[in-house]
Structure 1
């Protein structure tokens, strides 16, 4: 593996040399700069993954360098170091995109740990940027439709390309929100039937007494209220693809009639004896295991066996590694353009919350969260974890409860002590450095706005 490229920026030569030696021995590929101007030249030339910069430097500060680096390359992780504890400055740096803010003196091992975490985030950001460039360059490609670099999604894409070329019926299985209709549409668009119609029908949403008319169509006068001829979904999808979504919700009696249509590739409208030949692909989508449903007698086994020529199992988002971050950034960019909002990079804490969230609603939940985040329905000061937690039916874990409790105590004490850090330290019995670190980590400002 290529060593992580790290750039050290400090106007003191002794500090630069000491850091250079320590980080080189720790396995990093290190370069150094004496000021912000020299640092920016190296950023453009070498594009390091991580920049470590002193805050107080002549001509241009570390905070100004942070802004310049993020404008040049938002994927670079910037770690700021200062010998002066300043909570507002630390909070501003984190909100401006700094990965971390360390106060001297610090343990060398601590810095190495922070660099490794920062480098991992920078690599993720660059993979995401490369993916977005591929999406912008060719949305017709399957990778631009089914987003995510995980092995699980790569296997799904490869399977879809194989199945799309074979004119066979398909079952798509996956939890709610995993993108079953998107996958069905991909199967259609990458098949020889792409020029034909793609028709989707939700079987669970049609009343039992209307499902035959909806699927097979009817002739005028076939039943009370049928004033004209109606073409059913099977006939409407002829020469294309018919998606039977939530097929597990189809009544058993209707399943028997659907089985006959699928087997014979002929359909009769209700009230007619004329058989209409069909040339179409059937895709059945379900959020349950149809084999288990058939074994339990809740789904016709013969229909299951007839449809089960090929099966696509969609993994839930929680089993797709870092795909959640790629998808969130993709949907966030789309939402920001749609709502005419500025495109702002995600804060490191936001990224951590996205990757840690279980996403019980899968891609559908993630897209809704990205839309809310883009619209600013949660204040920018509010953490991503708070935004996600507001819609998470699972009770927060111990870490989240402890963080919320600490945040509340500190904010309340700040109000009581008129935002005096020294007074808060005295009241809570903690060192100033400990309080500063906690306020930065928890996103607490001296105004008490959280």
Structure 2
């Protein structure tokens, strides 16, 4: 039997142009809405900054500049990593209010190990310091998540209560470890995880490697689209029109190459270039020397986590069990799924992701304080909901949540750029969260 091509469907011909386009490309309308909102936010902040202080951005402001966009992606990385885990937790009809406090506690433990234990024991700058602290930090985060999961799954305590208690306990524990002090500086190699510059070594991969990575991603996009079409043919599923496949591949590749171009347009500061030339013996021409940052390490970590979590959610039995539990917990248990074990594993995974974010945040700031990660739980939940994760459970995507994280951080970055007061920024974040839940409710009613 030949595969069905949906380009000649009579029902499709009676629909509007937009509906036909969305159906042919199978693009989620909510995803387009988020992209539209992101575009409005970026353009609005750039125009506002141009009106207030001027700049050299795309529209004359300071927001749409390579420097600001590079920093924006670095700042988004920490929230985006935790958001991937929050999606799975919310899909299972749970919540985790403790991720910001777990981040703060893990960060001060990582900093304490580097500054007070491993540094004196192994010697400052020893190459094993960052590896040991990273491994121990991930283990600590996973253990905290496992503790939460055990209380929720095996003791029957609601996740709201357990993680609310965790929010308070781990924030207090962070203070007790360092008594309100600031632990700094971090190990020079560990610092690169945050995208900073250690001496003349940047926490990024440079222009050449970035272009290579960009073309590899483009090839992967084309390969995935091609493989998806072959799989549809194999199982006699409805095929997308060829133009839709080509359009999606072209749009994806254009976005990747555009992002790569922008990141490669942000160059090392002049002082770092001078130090690099002095240490390497290179000659700087009279017009100066531009060395690109390219993709930063925290952004690469977030991309890797996003890809890995998408694979877990969509291509593994563990991921399918999570969505089955979220769709109907009773039916999932009757079907033989060990819901308690899955709950424990998901919260342990969330703790590990919080530890990864703790490493990124403390490395980026080159310090750790007991206030690190404060209110991050709200930003993570808001990003997941904005990204299409339903608080009713059973529905959510990793890529949507990561895009939601970018929307949230864009709002924060733009308001900071325009010197908004902290109270105003908090009010805006709260309003956005409530509005996102309202949109989710409206969408669910329309689908039903």
- The two structures have a TM-score, normalised by structure 2, of 0.23
Bigger fraction of residues in strand: 1
Bigger fraction of residues in helix: 2
> Which of structures 1 and 2 has the bigger CA Rg?
1
Q: Larger relative contact order (C-alpha < 8 A, sep ≥ 6)?
A: 2
